[in-house]
Amino acid sequence: MALAGDLARRGMRYRLVDKASEYFAGSCGKGLQPRSLEVLDDLGVIDQVLASGVTHLPSRRYRRDRVVGDVDPHQGRQPTPDARTPAC
C-alpha cells in the first residue's frame, strides 16, 4: 500500500491485486509495523501519519458474549536499534 501511494504521488499507474476470492469481513491492518513506519518516513509523510492517528489501539477480550476486559498489547514497548519506532 505504501508503494502504491508513492507511485500515485509520482503520477505513475499501478494495480493492487488481492488473491483472496472473497472480501474479508473482519479487521485487518489496524496498526503499522516499525518497518512500515520507516518507509513512510522515507516518503516524507511520517509526521502527518502519526499526527492523525493513535499509537496504541486497545484490544477487547470476550468470553462468549461477555466483555472480560480491554488490554493494550503494546504497553511498554520501546524503540530498539532494529526498529526506530515501536509498532502502533
CB atoms inside a 10 Å sphere around CB 69: 10
Q: How many domains does the chain have?
A: 1
> Does residue 53 sit within a domain?
yes
pLDDT digit string, tens, across residues 38-69? 888 888 888 998 888 877 777 888 998 899 99
> Does residue 86 sit within a domain?
no
pLDDT digit string, tens, across residues 6-44? 888 889 999 988 888 888 776 666 777 777 888 888 888
Under the banding of pLDDT at 50, 70 and 90, the label for residue 87 is low
| Its pTM surpasses 0.85 | no
> Does residue 88 sit within a domain?
no
| H-only helix segments in the chain | 2-9, 34-42, 46-51
> Does residue 60 sit within a domain?
yes
> Does residue 87 sit within a domain?
no
Write down the pLDDT at residue 34.
79
For residue 16, what are the domain limits?
A: 2-71
**Quick check: 2 and 39 in contact, CB under 8 A?**
yes
